[in-house]
Structures are given as C-alpha cells and as structure tokens.
Amino acid sequence: MLHLPLQALALAYRVRGFLFAGTLGFITDAGMTFQLMDLAQLSPFQARPLAMFCAIAVTFILNRRLTFANTSQGTTREFLRYLSVNILGACVNYTLYSLVLLTLTALAGDLVPQSLAMLIGLFLGSGIAMVVNYKGFQHFAFRKAKS
C-alpha cells in the first residue's frame, strides 16, 4: 500500500521539474526569438530555430538535474538522445508556430499584432510539443542504465 503513494509522489516531483524546465525553456525560446528579430534583424521564421536550440540546451540541463536526475548514462550520450527526441518535438512546435503566425497574419491582418500572433504560436506549439517530448525523454533520452 505504501508503494502507490511513493510512485505518485515521484511522478508529481518529476512533472513539477518538467514544468519548471519547460517554463524556463519557453522564456528562453520567446526571449531569444524576439531578441534575434530585433538585434539581428531576422524574420520570425528565421529567428525561431536558433532560439529553439538555445531553449533545448537550457531544458536539457534542467531536466537532467531536476526531472530525470536518477539516470546514470553519460552526459554526451544523454544529450544526443535528448536532442533526437527534441527534433521531433521541434518539428511539431515549429509547424504549429508557423501555421498560427501565417493564419493570424492572413486572417486578422492589422487586428492582431505580429508579436501577439508569435506568442500565441509559441505557446500553442510549445504546449503540444511538451506532451510529445515528455514521453520521449522518459523512455528514451533519460532511461535508466540496464543493470
């Protein structure tokens, strides 16, 4: 009977760490996207992949330390697996971001500022990708070493 509450507590701790890492990753992603557009004069479509890679690096460090801390695999190997999972998540994320940005720009024109359309796209894309990534991280990127 004690086993179930411990599993629930472990899951709650893992989800809390994942949401914390994801929040900081989202802030990194959005902040870098806007900064790259402003400072490097990149389009929202050019800036986003660079910003996403920075966010992936931030979330790797946090997820490795907080969310999936009980792994014993090497850091480089884990990062490569983490990156491979994130490629799928990034494709989902970027596709939704682009669709929202293009759709809102085409349909709403001047009624919706580009920055708001971008934030909506970032939020929607990141939210859906989060679900895809969590399972991949849990079962592939940060799997426990076989004894």
Q: Terminal CA-to-CA distance of the chain, rounded, Å?
A: 27
- Please give the torsion angle defined by the CA atoms of residues 109, 52, 132 and 93, in that order, rounded to the nearest 10 degrees: 20
DSSP secondary structure, 13-64, as one string: HHHHHHHHHHHHHHHHHHHHHHHHHHHS---HHHHHHHHHHHHHHHHHHHII
Residue 55: its pLDDT value, please? 96
| Average pLDDT over the chain, rounded to an integer | 89
Q: Two tokens at 40?
A: 């490097």
pLDDT above 70 (res 147): no
- Rounded Cα gap, residues 132 and 119, in angstroms: 20
Q: Convert the pLDDT of each residue in 74-83 to its tens digit.
A: 788 888 989 9
- Render the burial of 56-88: b for 16+ CB within 10 Å, e for the rest: bbbbbebbbeebbeeeebeeeebbebbeebbee
pTM for this prediction? 0.85
Q: What is the pLDDT of residues 75-108, one digit of tens each?
A: 888 889 899 999 999 999 999 999 999 999 898 8
For the cut 80, the answer to whether the pLDDT of residue 143 exceeds it is: no
Domain ranges of the chain: 3-141
Bigger pLDDT: 1 vs 93 = 93
Task: Give percent above pLDDT 90 in the chain.
Answer: 60
pLDDT value at position 32? 98
Q: What was the pLDDT predicted at 146?
A: 63
Q: How far is CA 50 from CA 56, 64, 143, in A?
A: 10, 21, 27
